[in-house]
Chain A
Amino acid sequence: MSRLIRRGLRWRRPYSSVAASDIDHFKTILPPHAILSTLSPSTLPASELDPYNNDWMGKYHGRATTVLKPKTTQQVSDIVRWCASRDIAIVPQGGNTGLVGGSVPLRDELVVSLASMNTVRSFDSVSGILVADAGCVLQSLTDYVAPHNHIMPIDLGAKGSCHIGGNVATNAGGLRLLRYGSLHGSVLGLEVVLPDGTILDQLTSLRKDNTGYDLKQLFIGAEGTLGIITGVSILTPPSPQASNNVILALPHFDNVQPLYRTVKRQLSEILSAFEFIDRTAYDLAVKHGQGRALSEEDVQGAACFVLVETSGGRREHDEEKLTDLLTNLLEADTPLINTGVLSQNPAQFSSLWALREGVTEAVSKEGKAYKYDISIPLASFKTVVDTTREHLRSKGLLGEHAVKHVLGYGHVGDGNLHLNIVAAAYAQEIQDALEPFVYELVASYRGSVSAEHGIGAMKTHALHYSKNDVSIEWMKKIKALFDPKGIMNPGKVLE
């Protein structure tokens, strides 16, 4: 209850709603088709704005009356300048694929959609540096650089809808992080419209630039609370010439860590993913038809599974390394693995990946999921899942009537566990049993309550579990410095 009150009172500031007179002003900045508004005299039905007002999970619902779709940075600047003068709150929006409600309005803020800013500005096939508008869809950028033998350093499930600007604003992680690092490293420059309308041009394409404070880093992961990212300069790595994957079945969780050590040492530079799926997650993925299951024989006695992917420049070299690794693993005196399967062709390669990537979908088919995206030490993955399960059991909440499954999967290489609690239905008592329990558990490991999904509107109250008071105080100071009027994505990240 106290949380509800807190959420309700979050906005101390009185913001102005968008008025018909504002629309008249926007018409001097944008062509008519770039303004979607339900305000009179427009007759646009409110349902037209649904995709902008609701997140894709259907968890957050805003009541924005107006969506603007600028095409140029100057237009974004003009819009923001006007809003600053009028105290109109703004929600910058990309593909709206976030999981924490960071990209939808909480009330009737103005939505600035970057969807029309979707042009590649330049690509240097020698250095691999790509400069693109923020509204470019990730998949389209992947397709753009592919003929030049490059790939985007980031890949995630929502690639067909998410925007590069949104990826950067939320510091999205995803499947390639182990190999290519976080966006804090691969983003070389940004162009940002600040909350007063000023254009901050840091769109350099330099690998090295040690000249003072690296301001762009502040906007990576700020979730649109410090300004609107309008352009991104990003380093794309050369595309691997060969990829392989293998799923290993492990007799118990304790073997994951030594296995990771062995795999890292033996595969070194060709290791591109090391993903963990516990038995519950695997069984759910199979139950809901995500990828073809391993044979009974292969999964017998397996407590968990690990998916290892390699990407390299020469197939023979990679296969030799992988084969050596697998031989050593199988022939060891006390083997770390029971068995495993090695993909023999691209179809099987995708099928093995589907077993891991399909867990998310399988979970949503199985029931209502409480999802915690946490960073904790690898050794504690299983303990956290088990402790959570036992906690729910002790509260009498484990069983078909309430919580059906507690499962864990995630990116071992990044220390990122997706803790999922699958319930028959969303219920307050489950919610109360989980929070702040899970957050406190994470804090006890000095972990992060949001490894890659961000804070958005969902976790603002939990920020203090991962950031101490001094850190939060300075985050607030930075926010106040950039956005003294607090118009930029209010209610997100910071309370």
Chain B
Amino acid sequence: MYSIEANQLTKQFGEFTAVDHICFQVREGEIFGFLGANGAGKTTAIKMMSGLLLPTSGTATIAGYDILTQSKLIKKSIGYMSQKFSLYGDLTVFENMQLFGTIYGIPRRELKDRIMASLRELDMDKQANTLVDSIPLGWKQKLAFATAILHRPKIVFLDEPTSGVDPIVRREFWKLIYQAASKGVTILVTTHYMDEAEYCNRISIMAEGQIKLIGTPEELKQQMGVDTINDVFVKFVKR
């Protein structure tokens, strides 16, 4: 069974078609990369799949639930990390996790332990009582990821989680993604760093709202006869 299955998913804003009849499947535990230039429609697609935006036509099933009719059930089984950092800056690290943990219904006696365990993994347990506004961006992104998976969702949507973050933190961030995937979490991640695409199990390249290429990084490189995903992308854009 597929974790994510998009079927002719389309979003139009007036005359402009942001996402144009995309179809793809993501298997359970897979790390699926959404690549594409800015404005290719990646964020719009993610917002539809996570229930923030209603599609114009087509549909998708997420964890077996339909996005048109079962959005409440979907919301219980997904985690989401927005392109724009969106935790509360005037709450502490712990308070943010406590707030979202509570909303997701993590039992009270379990919540505190889970938060502390998660912070220890990030090496952030000392910052538990620091206001989120005052920690550096890289840490904020790691925190946002930890918060998004605190309720142990089946699927996590990550919208450009590493944009604006230094290479070291990016590497650490991908370590976290691998850790989560190894526990069976399906991950859909958008990025425009082509080197990150190499870390994905499978990738798709979007342009003008359509999925132009899809496959494992190896397949795509062979298909285009180049050595890196970066070259795949450049060649694809020139074509």
Chains A and B are bound partners: no
Interface residue ranges, B against A (CB under 8 Å):
none
